[in-house]
Amino acid sequence: MAVAEGKMASRVEPRPRAFHQRPMRYIVGRVFIYLLIIVGGAVSMFPFVWTLMSSGKSVWELTAFPPTLFPQEQIFIENYTRLLTEVPFLVWIRNSAVVTGLNLLGAISSAAIVAYGFSRFQFRGREAWFFIMLTTMMLPGEVTLIPQYLIFHALGWIDTFNPLIVPAYFGGGAFNIFLIRQFFLSIPRDMDESAEIDGANPFQIFFKILLPLSKPVLATAAALGFIGNWNSFMGPLIYLNSPRKFTATLGLRYFSMGATAATIEIGSLQPMENLLMAGSLIVAMPCLILFFVAQKYFVQGIVTTGIKG
């Protein structure tokens, strides 16, 4: 009996020691790591804090030397009021939302369909076509810029949203296809076979089995696509000419420019860097909110797409 009790006692795991009972070497190492993380976080957050503080300054405060972090004049509300009244900033935000939403809808849906074909069907030259598709990711955008412009000009799409939206419905992009295909490969084919035995066709398997299981990777692709399209500057700069059709990122450009024909059309606005800071903060907020809301799906999607079934 005593032997049995001794064996049971030996199996009991020792309780972890309290933090103050650990060796000094361990405590010093932990404190150093925490201090390093705090300093790194403060450094990475400084540009955001500077933008926030600068959005409440006057023009002379932004150009003063030495620079000051906190505004001397309390004009936060005035700057944001001018931003919303002197220029069609809300129209630019709406344009960005329309372009981003329609682009994401086409990119995710078409990329999922193409990835389904590459992951579940056997056809001649499948691997070769997939390799050719991946090579397009290494092609700089500057190489295709002029041919694309000539095509859209011939179609009469210049100064419209079509060049920013329609191409997304033809494949969705090589990166999205690759990302979603990797996730589809991690889903066992036994589920497809079980559905086929029950009489499901390929479309039913895609919509009722694969897509519901692919929420993490779809959320990841949507988050990355939202950030890329919302912050896109080159596309709107090339294809949009009318100030009322500008996206938010393109509209911010005119806060740091002199009065031109375009700025005269939107109110003869002179360079106002403080309004530029306020507008930049508003434009950045959707991306920050999206990251915190979809962080779980974002991390899960990135992790699982590297696992091949």
pLDDT for the residue numbered 110:
94
Q: How far is CA 77 from CA 49, 55, 58, 110, 274, in A?
A: 17, 10, 12, 43, 12
pLDDT digits (tens, 9 = 90+) for 47-80: 888 888 877 777 777 776 777 777 776 666 777 8
Please give the span between the terminal C-alpha atoms of the chain, in angstroms, as a whole number: 51
Q: What is the pLDDT of residue 167?
A: 92
| Residue 115 identity (one-letter amino acid) | A
Q: What pLDDT score does 129 carry?
A: 92
Q: Residues of CATH 1.10.3720.10 domain(s) within the chain?
A: 83-304
What is the mean pLDDT of the segment spanning 146-174? 92
Res 115: pLDDT = 93
Q: What is the mean pLDDT of residues 83-101?
A: 89
Whether residue 19 is predicted with pLDDT greater than 70 in this model: the reply is no
pLDDT at 113: 93
Predicted pLDDT of residue 73: 66
More confident residue, 133 or 256: 133
Question: Averaged over 223-232, what is the pLDDT?
Answer: 90
Q: What does 227-242 look like in DSSP terms, one character per residue?
A: HHHHT--HHHHHH--S
Range in 225-234, 261-270, 287-296 the model is least confident about: 261-270
Instruction: With 0.85 as the threshold, say if the pTM is over it.
Output: no
Residue 239 has pLDDT above 90, yes or no: yes
- 6-10, 178-182, 244-248: segment of lowest average pLDDT: 6-10
Question: Quick one: pLDDT band at residue 258, thresholds 50, 70, 90?
Answer: very low
The verdict on domain 83-304 having CATH code 3.10.310.70 is: no
Q: Average pLDDT in the 241-253 region?
A: 88
pLDDT of residue 291: 79
Mean pLDDT confidence for 215-224 = 87
The rounded percent of the chain whose pLDDT value lies above 70 is 81
Q: How confident is the model at residue 262 (pLDDT cuts 50, 70, 90)?
A: very low
Mean pLDDT for the chain overall: 80
270-293: pLDDT as tens digits: 556 777 888 888 888 888 888 777
**42 contacts 268 by C-beta, under 8 angstroms:** no
- From 71-85, 165-179, 228-242, the region with the lowest mean pLDDT: 71-85
Residue 5 has pLDDT above 80, yes or no: no
Compute the distance between CA of residue 290 and CA of residue 226 in angstroms, rounded to an integer. Answer: 9
Per-residue confidence band for 102, with pLDDT thresholds at 50, 70 and 90: very high
pLDDT digits (tens, 9 = 90+) for 206-216: 998 898 888 88
Count the helix, strand and coil residues of the chain and give each as a percent rounded to the nearest 5: 75, 0, 25
- List Cα–Cα distances, 104 to 99, 107, 164, 225, 258, in angstroms: 8, 5, 11, 6, 34
The percent of residues above 90 in pLDDT, for the chain, comes to 25
Q: According to the model, what pLDDT value does residue 106 have? A: 93
Contacts of 237 (CB under 8 A, 6+ apart): 250, 253
Residue 155 has a pLDDT of 93
